[in-house]
Amino acid sequence: MSSKSIVYWASPYEMMGLPDSKSNMITNNLVKTRFILDKVLDNINPEDKVGIKIHPGNAYNTHYLRHDYVREVVKAVKAKGGIPTLIETQGLGMYSYQINMSENYTICLDCRTNADDHEKIAHLHGYSESIVGAPLKFLDGDKGIESRNVKIDGIHLKEVAVAAGLFEYDKIIVVSHFKGHPQAAFGGALKQLGVGCVAKKNKFVLHYLDDLSINNRNCNISKCAQECISECPVNAIKIEGESAVIDISLCVGCTACFKKCPIKRAIKRKFNMTDIKGLTEKAMDNAAAVVNSYGPDKIRYINFAFDIPLMCDCVVNASAPVVPDLGIFGSSDPIAIDKACLDAETNAPSLPFLDMKGQWTQPIKPGIEKFKALNPMVDTTWQINAAVKNKLGSIDYELVKI
Ligand code: SF4
Ligand code: SF4
């Protein structure tokens, strides 16, 4: 794809210029969502099984996309005769643990690594059939391990475990909350593909630098109930002598073993805090596997650039919004739609916010990309450049205002 891609955009502040003068008072963002959808959902036929890829947010995050917008997507699919299902994959749960805040107040962070827990959070955030009008299904099964291996010639990866359930749908609509991200710099359509549509195995590949291995000095079967073995969903762990061994050819990176192991550092893993560019590029390799195996023409994208914090919807302290609401974007091109959101974010002035010492920050001027300015560890160009290298779409777009 080298020609300009169309990105439809509705401003969150202005009235829409509808031909009927009586309708010119419409400013409502749900109504604007429907008008964007009417432009981009040109590929849906009656009886199509349509997967609506969502991210319902994480426990204790309050910046996730409101379910009201997803309900509009469901309604638009039904209006075209399609059969909508909300689709999602399990989280890897890097920060998954219980914290006792006080004697009778315990909170569970990042507890969305299996279907039961994930569904509870989705329902809490309004993503349930009784509210949005479509059921929720997990593409990678209850534990996040059901996948189809897809060969690619990516920047780093040659094979990707794409979530198996994706292929049950005739069409996919990727619904994204545009916001910052602590590693990928920003989250939008591309990240929904590259992280949100793959099984845990390829989420692990991004977030950890090496394969898991047993630390023989710490692993001690006389001090545990061999929880790692009972937790492993693919029987990749067995006991040899006095300690466990992992058959890495079987491991699907679900992280269950080291979360359950009671002995500190018995299972060695190296969280990726150093190769952030590589992490982002691998995510775009994943995205290429998803798009190439599923079919680019069968996917449409809608980004909601509302309530835009520096961190993603998995993070508990996602910060205050860094820029004003930027609007609703729709496209058939995942690079073009994310680039249009990034350009809008760059061109906007930032919002001042109270820092951790209670002092107001100075606004960042229009023309400066805010996510990098506020978090120098990241760079938004890494994700876009890797997506271009993987031929996921076009960086050149034409913005068509609704
Ligand atoms: S890895 Fe942990 S749970 Fe497994 S045998 Fe070793 S100490 Fe026990
Ligand atoms: S070895 Fe650990 S991470 Fe790998 S599949 Fe088994 S439980 Fe999951």
CATH number of the domain bearing residue 25 = 3.40.50.11440
Q: What is the pLDDT of residue 80?
A: 97
Co-location of 111 and 198 in the same domain: yes
Q: What is the pLDDT of residue 300?
A: 98
Amino acid at 397: Y
Co-location of 372 and 235 in the same domain: no
Q: Is the CB of 351 under 6 A from ligand 1?
A: no
SS3 298: helix
Q: What is the pLDDT of residue 10?
A: 95
Q: Name the DSSP class of 198.
A: B
Co-location of 228 and 111 in the same domain: no
Residue ending a domain, choose from 239, 268, 297: 268
Q: Name the DSSP class of 65.
A: P
Residue ending a domain, choose from 248, 268, 288: 268
Co-location of 26 and 145 in the same domain: yes
d(CA 293, CA 303): 23
Question: Using CA positions, which residue lies closest to atom 4 of ligand 2?
Answer: 251
Co-location of 262 and 355 in the same domain: no
Q: Say which CATH number the domain at 219 has.
A: 3.30.70.20
Q: Is the CB of 246 under 6 A from ligand 1?
A: no
CA–centroid distance, residue 230 to ligand 1 (Å): 10
Question: Using CA positions, which residue lies closest to atom 2 of ligand 2?
Answer: 257
Co-location of 159 and 247 in the same domain: no
d(CA 164, CA 152): 16
> How far are the Cα atoms of 30, 67, 131 from residue 72, in angstroms, in the given order?
7, 9, 11
Identify which of 400, 156, 193 has the alpha carbon closest to the alpha carbon of residue 298.
193
- Candidate from 252, 260, 261 with most ligand 2 atoms within 8 A of CB, to mutate: 252
Co-location of 146 and 189 in the same domain: yes
Identify which of 241, 252, 187 has the alpha carbon closest to the alpha carbon of residue 219.
241
**Per-residue tokens: 4:** 């300009």
Q: Is the CB of 232 under 6 A from ligand 1?
A: no
Identify which of 32, 119, 19 has the alpha carbon closest to the alpha carbon of residue 76.
32
Q: What is the pLDDT of residue 22?
A: 56
Q: Are strands 171-177 and 299-305 parallel, antiparallel or unpaired?
A: parallel
d(CA 176, CA 329): 10
Q: Is the CB of 228 under 6 A from ligand 1?
A: yes
How confident is the chain (402 residues) per 10-residue block, as mean pLDDT?
85 72 69 95 97 93 94 98 98 74 80 90 95 98 97 97 98 98 95 98 94 94 95 96 94 92 92 92 98 98 96 81 96 98 97 88 94 95 98 97 91
CA–centroid distance, residue 265 to ligand 1 (Å): 10
Q: What is the pLDDT of residue 134?
A: 98
Give buried/exposed letters for 223-239 (b at 16+ CB in 10 A, else e).
ebeebbbebbeeebbee
Co-location of 197 and 124 in the same domain: yes
Co-location of 200 and 219 in the same domain: no
Q: Is the CB of 212 under 6 A from ligand 2?
A: yes
Q: Is the CB of 261 under 6 A from ligand 1?
A: yes
Amino acid at 193: L
d(CA 11, CA 402): 8
The total of structural domains in the chain comes to 2
The neighbour count for residue 130, using CB atoms within 10 Å, is 7
User: To 10 degrees, what angle do helices 67-79 and 29-40 make?
Assistant: 40
Q: What is the pLDDT of residue 214?
A: 96
Co-location of 187 and 245 in the same domain: no
- Looking from the CA of residue 260, the nearest atom of ligand 1 is 3
Q: What is the pLDDT of residue 112?
A: 86
Q: What is the pLDDT of residue 273?
A: 85
Residue ending a domain, choose from 224, 241, 268: 268
Q: Which residues span the domain enclosing 252?
A: 213-268
Co-location of 149 and 9 in the same domain: yes
Q: Is the CB of 254 under 6 A from ligand 2?
A: yes
Q: Can you list the pairs that 228-236 forms with residues at least 24 positions away whose Cβ atoms lie under 8 Å?
A: 228/257, 228/258, 228/260, 228/261, 228/266, 228/267, 230/260, 231/256, 231/257, 231/259, 231/260, 232/256, 232/257, 233/143, 233/145, 234/145
Question: Using CA positions, which residue lies closest to atom 6 of ligand 1?
Answer: 219
SS3 382: helix
Helices (H) and strands (E) in the chain, counts: 12, 18
d(CA 263, CA 7): 52
Q: What is the pLDDT of residue 314?
A: 83
Co-location of 128 and 260 in the same domain: no
DSSP 250-281: T-----HHHHH--STTSEE--B-SS-HHHHHH
Amino acid at 294: Y
